[in-house]
Amino acid sequence: MRKLHQFHGGLHLEGHKSESLTRNLRQASLPPRLYLPLRQHIGEHNKPLVDVGNRVLKGHVISASSSLIRAAVHAPTSGTVTAISDYPVAHPSGLKDTCIVIDVDGEDEAAAPVIPDLQQLEAGEIIDLICRSGVVGLGGAAFPSSPKLSRGKMQGIETLIINGVECEPYITCDDMLMRHYAAEILRGVGYLQRILNPQFTLIGIEDNKPEAIAAMTSGLAHAGLAATEIVSIPTIYPSGGEKQLIQILTGREVPHGQLAFDIGLFCQNVGTCVAITRALEQDQPLISRVVTITGDNIREPGNWEVRLGSPVRHLVELAGGYLHGDSSPLVMGGPMMGFSLSGDQVPIVKASNCIMVMREQAMTRRPGYHDECIRCGKCTEVCPAQLLPQQLYWHARAGAFERAQEFHLLDCIECGCCSAVCPSGIPLVQYYRAAKSEIRAAHKVQIKSDRARFRFEFRERRLLLKKQQDEERRRLKREALQKKKIQAGGEVPIADPVQAALERVKARKLAEQEDSQ
């Protein structure tokens, strides 16, 4: 039995998971139309690679980027591109963003797969295949997997950690995934082991998921993975956070300003493992994912494997529709870290793990009126990142972002524990998110300014160098002409005509000054 450790703070929350686990995993039908945002990952926006009127097949790349941190978007099915315009997307701001709209033709025709001999591939080639498949972390952050794997391979990994914790209330998509796709998850773990060559692999699953633990244990017995262990951990929120899971399983803390692979650790979600397996074995890009739809205002809570771009309303209809009218508050994610949606026309994207359909607002705290801080210190007691939420709140509220960074604002994982226990009802996480957005925006402006200054300074140096080179060429040419004249006729070298003209002008001005006196 592996020795487990504890992290600071955390909360024991009511799970509300049984509601969506009463039915098996189901395959969602295709909606008439798909809306695919260009940006479904952390990093630069993609650019569309198709035009209105183009017919696409399932798996075709429809948008991509040349940035280092990138994840292409692929057509989830066959159909015709009917628009490339702004539509509602899954974002806390509620604003619209550019989407590629595909009218589904119902044929679900796929491009011909190209499946390489995986046994002959080097680690770098496997990473390239994962990159071309648009795979991102499916635990919620949606960070592209290929640059993370490249960095991990370069750093050297001692322990690979597979995250099957899923600690937030209501969400059960990973639980259901482990029950039904344990073999695919473990094959994905095997590919990660080939890339990273870790000494140990730990698969962490919360002890409130006995069926998932049993399925994964049975699958591991036949997977043939070396030095791999399934670890059942206590149920406490937010044990699914990367740093918290690392601390539970290894007792190690990721230092401030560093990432997990800087200390030889690498974390990956079970959903990402399935996506990697399908990308390598079936040449299937990331075009679908398992989504939980649950809450007290949905008729048939459950889990569906949904094509990306499907409107939330389509998923609601598959789940039997609303219990009490169509004006139900919708949340993408869980009640702790999720965000409210502007409506049910928002599409499912790579980061969509759960849709909560509630009769009342389910967020722990929301913007609006709140009492003043009473300095009770409860937020500090539950903070898993061991920050000082009260101080962060004061600095974020005052716009003192540099001071907030001195208190390690950017280490906040936005788990919502502080907001959940605040007796004054202060939406602390909202303040932190707003402050982070301001800091990132200022950072982008600074980078843009630095680049502009660098280009200007480079241009000035280039022009000065060119001027110096031109003057040197003219001087050498004059000297060569004078030397040639001397060799030809023995004449005394003539003076530089330009210099002579300047001397004459100078003498004339001097004479005019003397006459005026």
Q: What digits encode the pLDDT tens for the residues 38-92? A: 989 988 889 999 999 999 999 999 999 988 889 999 999 999 999 999 999 988 8
**Who's near 168: CB < 8 A, 6+ residues apart?**
237, 238, 240, 333, 334, 335, 336, 337
Q: How far is CA 8 from the centre of its chain?
A: 26
Q: Which fold has domain 18-28+116-318?
A: Rossmann fold (3.40.50)
Q: What pLDDT shows up at residue 359?
A: 85
Q: Is the dihedral of CA 296, 300, 302, 308 positive or negative?
A: negative
Residue identified by tokens 């998110």 is 433
306 and 289 Cβ atoms separated by less than 8 Å: yes
Indicate the pTM of the whole model.
0.85
Q: pLDDT averaged over the chain?
A: 91
**Who's near 365: CB < 8 A, 6+ residues apart?**
416, 419, 420, 422, 425, 426, 427, 428, 429, 430
pLDDT band at 360 (very low <50, low <70, confident <90, very high): confident
277 and 138 Cβ atoms separated by less than 8 Å: no
Residue 72 identity (one-letter amino acid): A
Q: Which residues of the chain are in CATH 3.40.50.11540 domains? A: 18-28+116-318
Nearest residue to 364 via CA among 353, 379, 351, 384: 379
Tell me the average pLDDT across 22-38: 95
Q: Which of 291-300, 301-310, 365-374 has the least mean pLDDT?
A: 365-374
Q: What pLDDT shows up at residue 491?
A: 53
| Selection from 131-145, 250-264, 270-284 with the highest mean pLDDT | 270-284
pLDDT band at 481 (very low <50, low <70, confident <90, very high): confident
Tell me the average pLDDT across 316-325: 90
Q: What pLDDT shows up at residue 494?
A: 53
Q: Check whether 299 has a pLDDT greater than 70.
A: yes
Rounded CA separation 46/40 (Å): 9
Helix (H, G, I), strand (E, B) or coil at 136: strand
What share of the chain has pLDDT > 70, as a percent?
A: 96
297 and 323 Cβ atoms separated by less than 8 Å: yes
DSSP 202-268: EEEEETT-HHHHHHHHHHHHHH--TTEEEEEE---BTTTSHHHHHHHHH---PPTT--GGGGTEEEE
Q: What pLDDT shows up at residue 504?
A: 82
The first and second tokens of residue 289, run together, are: 């994912």
pLDDT digits (tens, 9 = 90+) for 170-203: 999 999 999 999 999 999 999 999 999 999 999 9
337 and 92 Cβ atoms separated by less than 8 Å: no
79 and 34 Cβ atoms separated by less than 8 Å: yes
pLDDT digits (tens, 9 = 90+) for 392-450: 999 999 999 999 999 999 999 999 999 999 999 999 998 999 999 899 889 889 988 99
Rounded CA separation 334/169 (Å): 6
* pLDDT higher at 369 or 152: 152
Tell me the average pLDDT across 469-496: 77
pLDDT band at 478 (very low <50, low <70, confident <90, very high): confident
Tell me the average pLDDT across 158-176: 95
Q: Which of 105-109, 216-220, 255-259 has the least mean pLDDT?
A: 255-259
Could you tell me where the beta strands, DSSP code E, fall in 70-198?
73-74, 79-88, 96-104, 159-163
Burial of 377 (0-12, 13-18, 19+ CB in 10 A): exposed
Q: What pLDDT shows up at residue 511?
A: 81
pLDDT digits (tens, 9 = 90+) for 229-242: 999 999 999 999 99
Dihedral pair phi/psi, residue 35, rounded to 5°: -120, 115
Q: Which of 260-274, 298-312, 349-363, 493-507 has the least mean pLDDT?
A: 493-507
Q: Check whether 164 has a pLDDT greater than 70.
A: yes
Q: Which DSSP state fits 118?
A: G
**Rounded to the nearest 5 degrees, what angle is found at the Cα of 322, between the Cα atoms of 319 and 325?**
165
Q: Check whether 371 has a pLDDT greater than 90.
A: no
**Who's near 345: CB < 8 A, 6+ residues apart?**
35, 87, 88, 311, 312, 313
Rg value, the chain, Cα: 31
Q: Check whether 325 has a pLDDT greater than 60.
A: yes
pLDDT band at 495 (very low <50, low <70, confident <90, very high): low
Q: How far is CA 267 from the centre of its chain?
A: 14
